[in-house]
Amino acid sequence: MEHQHESKSSPLSASSNLLHVEPHDSKHEEEHREGFLSEIFKFSLIALVIVLPVRLFIAQPFIVSGASMEATFSTGQYLIVDQLTYHLDDPKHGDVIVFRYPKDPSKFFIKRIIGIPGDTVDIKGNVVTITNEAHPEGVVLTEDYILKMDPTTTLTEVLGTDEYFVMGDNRNASSDSRMWGVLQRDNIIGRAFLRLFPFNKINILPGAFNTDTEFMSSSK
């Protein structure tokens, strides 16, 4: 008589094929989250300490809007404005500056300096004459940067301490010192230092005009 051997399968070990998961440690997770938030706070604080003084005292970006400075600057161009130079030196004839609009300081304008303290600015039609201590006989400005200026203006402005006379290069489309008067130095933010966009027009001191050889080149 044959003995039939009954095959028995081994039971699965209780420890086989089990995914071992560490117990949830809420305290560790909370510490990790607090550490992450602390690092974010430190990074933000460092960035603020670096960026804020730069924006307040050294440079800040502006985007041109409007036609008043065409063809020197056009809408959409991206500029970096140098705020440091005028803490060390005075604004000069021909500088392109960004300033707070005197009638509404929440708005920023970009124009060119035509007259500085001590100047008498005389406009007859489209001819601008500057008279000052250095040029008591008066000098007619040679303004190659002008896009257009119709001969319709008659105006004389004597500039006192910290007073500037500014105009746009596209004078037929510019709201400037001819309409709202002189610009006080306190309203000046800085000079146009760098044009970053469009890329084919990237340059330093965009719109700069050589005052020594051109700005006051012809005499009456």
Cite the active site residues: 68, 111
- Distance (Å, whole) CA 110 – CA 68: 8
Q: Closest Cα partner for 173 from 71, 81, 32, 59?
A: 71
Rounded alpha-carbon distances, angstroms, from residue 15 to 8, 12, 24, 56, 196: 20, 8, 20, 66, 66
Q: Closest Cα partner for 118 from 84, 94, 93, 140?
A: 93
- Distance (Å, whole) CA 167 – CA 110: 9
Residue with tokens 């007073």: 163
Number of residues in the chain: 220
Query: Strands (DSSP E) along 27-119, which ranges?
Result: 59-63, 78-82, 96-100, 108-115
